[in-house]
Structure 1
Amino acid sequence: MTAPAVPAAALARPATSVAPGAPLTRAYRFELVKLFHQWRVRLLLLACWTAPALFVAGVGEQSTLPSDTLFGRWMHATAWAGPLVLLGFAGTWALPLLTSVVTGDVFASEDRLGTWRHLLVAVRSPRRIFAAKALAGVTVVLLFVTGIAASSTAGGLLTAGNHPLVGLDGRLLTPGDAAGRTLLAWTCALAPTLALAAIGLLGSVALGRSPTGLLLPPILALTMSVAQTLPLPVAVRLALPGYAFTAWNGLFTSPRQLGPLLIAVTVSLVWAIFATALAYLLFLRRDFTHPAYDGAGRRALTAGLLPLAALTALTVAVVAAATPASSTGSGIGQAKVQRSLATAFAHLYRLQTEQLHRPAVTEAELNSSAACAKSDGQGAQEGAGNDWRCVVTWHLPGVPVAGTAVYQLDIGSDGRYVADGDGPKEVNGYFLVRTPTGDAPNPLWQFDGNVELLDTTSKG
């Protein structure tokens, strides 16, 4: 009896056949499903898309405003103040916590559950596993950011309406201009958010199931926030990845103060790429065959923390070499303060003139100027502090006597200041002005301004 014939194709087939691993797109979808299956991620996503709108709507029903926050005093006047108030809060607290929940746990969860062997069998490529997890984590973080921006904007449009916004130089921005600058501010905030997400990936890979990995993005954000309050040189301030959460202030002046913003965004993106690359290298070097392996252990210091410290020193050196010589100081000088205050006063004086239905006047006709002194002229006339006192002088056509108004300035280390009117009462000494249609908020009583830390824009 003869054996049955075997097809030639079967003879050519190898004795053992290994099934190909899952492609990146399928692994990415699988990681997204795993993330959205977690109840805390679904809850946070719902909160990001609803809570900001409720907050802005709630503020719209209150008689008091968060005037201690940037643009908070304008939340009753325009829809575009709400998203900017939320952006200031999100950069300090919300986004670091949100990124830690997602990217800070995306690798550590596999260590806790002991599922690396199953994932490797399905995907068959550590590189594709890392790419899928990193992309899925960043996708969820971007959904968080988009939700906060969209929800706060919707709440503002429903409660305050699409009205002009007063910029940080006192200029009245049209609704379209304000909307464009607000969108650009949120877009620029994506860069430091990606840096925090990359730090979360690095902590999740390097520290395994340890909860310390979850704390790295908030710790970094808190450290950067504290550092921004210190009297640091401008070059050091710009070289920190968290400065982009503050530098968007320069978008709301005319001309726009783009120099510090572009530097801050670039530094944040460099941090994001560098930290992701470190996480990738650590992930490829880990031992997947050892069931008790838990992160990189001692290598977390040498391959994670020390390179980031070296990156900080390098960015400080590069920024110091690429920026003007004034970057070695605080960047807040007497001449800058006087110029910024005089410009903002002139624009807001025109707004008050329109409220009172007085004859129109231009900034050129006002010819406003400011004389400022810090600590009553004692010591160096530069730097942050709440001891700046200024006298603004202006002229009206046909009036031989110049007008004067006094302001107390509280200037932060980042250049943002609050000007508090101190008389005369008819100009800036009271929070309301009496108009033909009733009492209205006095734009000259208290307002926000911004001193550019770098001399990168024109003086016009």
Structure 2
Amino acid sequence: MTATVFRRVRVLRGYRFELVKLVSQWRIRLLGLVCWTAPGLFVAAVSRQSTLPVDTLFGRWMHATGWAGPLVMLGFAGTWALPLMISVVAGDVFAAEDRLGTWRHLLVAVRSPRRIFVAKSLASLSVILLLVAGLAVSSVAGGILAVGDQPLVGLDGHLLPPADAAARVLLAWVCVLAPVLALAAIGLLGSVALGRSPMGLLLPALVALALQLAQMLPLPVAARLALPGYAFVAWNRLFSSPAGAGPLLIAVVISLVWAVTATGLAYRLFVRRDFTDLSFDGSRRRAAMGLLSLAGLLVVTVGVVAMGTGATGSGIDQDKVQRSVATAFGHLYRLQTAQLHRPDVTEAQLRPTAACSRGGGRLEPRGPGNDWRCVVTWHLPGTEAAGSATYQLDLAPDGRYMADGDGPKEVNGYFLVRTATGDAPNPLWQFDGTVALLPTTPKG
């Protein structure tokens, strides 16, 4: 009599099986339909409106170029869409087997908890990447079809040619894949450790919400950069010249470290699980240990970032704000000059400078706040008198700010300028900018 030889199912076959299981669910199909259609329709509709989301980064340029829409969508996705989407996919991929009571059947078929973990993780990651691709492709298509392939105004006021804008938009979407992987790994950890508990499903969304709230607080810059969700906002530095890649690279690396650590914790919990316990409803103790491990990782990364960058305090000071505002004003002044068909000038000829203070000079000029006031001064060739314009700044803790023109009216006091072809949006009325949080000179 010949003994029967049982072979374990290969990972690739298990991956295909888990992928089919995921895409056969109605909620995953609905998510796919929404991600591949809704962003394009939204961007196209908003770009045609007379009122634009000027309180959103790049929202004020949606009428001028199709490359602004994907960035507006990226900001919204990083805040709400991506965390919820990850919760639905990664937060439920293991817990679903607990609800249905199918672990015994799956183990008999596959005969390897390790391969089950790898197959489920890869399948959920594939679905998440497909949904992210849908958000990006749909929003780009909607913007280009509705507005066109026009230059994009960067966060320091300079014009990005269409090809350059397209490359940076693509790179921004690629960079946010790092925090997406981190949240997906946290979702896997919650799904493994908490079983049928709804908290496992909600864990990625709750962690993302906590990270967003932390970014709104006046944290030290080292702690801000060490948060795994910072890459959701750090991509904006790609749209300044020169591109501030330092904080973005740090944010991407931190997110990937979190992704590897959380996945490793989930794997360890899964392969040590007792699948003979049919009443298993998650291990709160193991979940707590996993969260404590991630908290320890945060402490370590804060220390590494602080020592490696020399960053202290909020990273926002008077000199940085003045340089950023003066640079953006110089670029946008040239844009307004072209609108009005005046003789072109260069930034070197304008020599723009900014004098900024907080609270009317009563507060120390550093840190975030909505009480910054800047007076920009510039010079025109052939004239001795200097021009000046006033801006009120709302400066966020992550270094992004909105400058609101406060006169004179002919420069920045009105949202339209009168051109030869009719009224056009005034680029100097309001503009967005960003302050580099890391030191601009090497430490020591």
Question: How high is the TM-score relative to the length of structure 1?
Answer: 0.95
Partner of 1:352: 336
Matched AA of 1:309:
A
Distance 1:124 1:294 in 2: 22
- 3-state DSSP of counterpart to 1:433: strand
Give the Cα separation in 2 of the matches to 1:353 and 1:293: 69
Task: Report the equivalent of 1:313.
Answer: 299
CA contact (8 A) 1:408 1:421 kept: yes
Q: Secondary structure at the match of 1:103?
A: helix
- Is residue 114 from structure 1 mapped to residue 101 from structure 2 by the alignment? yes
User: In the alignment, residue 297 of structure 1 is paired with which amino acid?
Assistant: R
- Superposed CA offset, 1:297-325 (max 9, x none): 322212x111011111111111111012x
1:248-267 equivalent positions in 2, closer than 5 A: 248-267=235-254
DSSP 3-state at the match of 1:447: strand
> Which residue number in structure 2 is paired with residue 405 of structure 1?
389
Q: 1:375: which partner in 2?
A: 359
How far, CA to CA, are the matches of 2:48 and 2:387 in structure 1? 37
Distance in 1 of aligned mates of 2:284 and 2:313: 40
- Which residue identity lines up with residue 414 of structure 1 in the other structure? D
Secondary structure of 1:241's match? coil
2:66 equivalent in structure 1: 79
- Deviation (angstroms), 1:122: 1.1
Give the 5 Å matches for 1:389-400.
389-400=373-384
Aligned to 1:48: 35
The CA deviation at 1:251 is 0.2
Match of 2:413 in 1: 429
How many angstroms apart in 2 are the aligned matches of 1:60 and 1:365? Answer: 35
Tell me, what secondary structure is at the counterpart of 2:268?
A: helix
Evaluate the alpha carbon distance shift between residue 46 and residue 448 of structure 1 in structure 2; reply closer, same or farther with a 3 A threshold. Answer: same
The amino acid across from 1:415 in the alignment is G
**Shift of residue 360 of structure 1?**
0.7
Q: 1: distance between equivalents of 2:120 and 2:441?
A: 42
Normalised by the length of structure 2, the TM-score is 0.98
Structure 1 letter corresponding to 2:230: Y
Q: CA deviation at 1:28?
A: 0.1
Q: CA offset at residue 328 of structure 1?
A: 1.9
Code of the aligned partner of 1:289: T
Residues 257, 457 of structure 1: 8 Å contact kept: no
- What is the percent sequence identity of the aligned residues? 71
CA distance in 1, matches of 2:439, 2:383: 35
Do the aligned residues in 2 keep the contact of 1:388 with 1:410 (CA within 8 Å)?
Answer: yes
Listed as ranges, the matches of 1:50-199 within 5 Å are 50-199=37-186
Which of 205, 209, 232 in structure 1 is aligned with 2:219?
Answer: 232
The CA distance in 1 between the partners of 2:341 and 2:236, in whole Å, is: 31
2:309 is matched with: 323
SS state at 2:437 partner? coil
Confirm or deny that 1:20 pairs with 2:7.
yes
Q: CA deviation at 1:457?
A: 7.7
Contact 1:102/1:137, CA 8 A, preserved across alignment:
yes
**Helix, strand or coil: the match of 1:388?**
strand
Distance 1:16 1:60 in 2: 69
What does 1:262-281 align with in structure 2 at a 5 Å threshold? 262-281=249-268
Q: Tell me the equivalent position of 2:189.
A: 202
Q: Is the 8 A contact 1:256 1:457 kept in 2?
A: no
Structure 2 Cα separation of the partners of residues 60 and 309 of structure 1: 42
| Partner SS state of residue 433, structure 2 | strand
User: 2:341 is paired with a residue of what secondary structure?
Assistant: coil
Cα distance in 2, alignment partners of residues 212 and 127 from structure 1: 24
Over residues 257-293 of structure 1, what are the superposed CA-to-partner deviations in whole Å (9 max), with x where a residue is unaligned? Answer: 1111000010000000000000000000100112112
Alignment RMSD = 1.0
Q: Deviations over 1:118-143 (max 9, x none)?
A: 11111111110000000000000001
Inter-partner Cα distance in structure 2 for 1:110 and 1:59: 42
Which segment drifts farther, 371-380 or 178-187?
371-380
Q: Which letter maps to 1:25?
A: L
Q: 1:444 aligns with which of 425, 428, 435?
A: 428
Q: In structure 2, what residue type is equivalent to 1:74?
A: W
Identify unmatched segments of 5+ residues in structure 1: 1-13
**1:321 maps to amino acid:** M
Distance in 2 (CA, whole Å) between partners of 1:295 and 1:24 is: 25
Whole-angstrom distance in 2 between the partners of 1:96 and 1:443 = 34
Match of 1:364 in 2: 348
Q: CA deviation at 1:19?
A: 2.1
Deviation at residue 443 of structure 1 after TM alignment: 0.4
Separation in 2, partners of 1:277, 1:251: 31
1:259–1:456 CA contact under 8 A, matched in 2:
no
The 2-side partners of 1:297 and 1:169 are apart by 48
Per-residue deviation, residues 345-373 of structure 1 (Å, max 9, x unmatched):
00000000111110110000000000000
Greater than 4 Å deviation, 4+ residue runs: none
Q: Give the whole-Å Cα distance in 1 for the aligned partners of 2:152 and 2:439.
A: 25
CA offset at residue 15 of structure 1?
3.8
Q: Give 1:22 deviation, angstroms.
A: 1.3
**1:144-178 Cα distance to aligned partner (Å, 9 max, x none):** 10000000000001101000000000000000101
1:285 aligned partner: 272
SS at 1:179's partner residue?
helix
CA separation in 2, counterparts of 1:267 and 1:456? Answer: 21
* Conservation of the 8 A alpha-carbon contact between 1:257 and 1:456: no
Structure 1 residue 413, shift from structure 2 partner: 0.5
CA distance in 1, matches of 2:421, 2:288: 66
Query: Per-residue CA shift, 1:49-93, capped at 9, x if unaligned?
Result: 000001011112311000000000000110110000000010011
Look up the equivalent residue of 2:401 and give its one-letter code: Y
Partner Cα separation in structure 2 for residue 312 and residue 268 of structure 1: 11
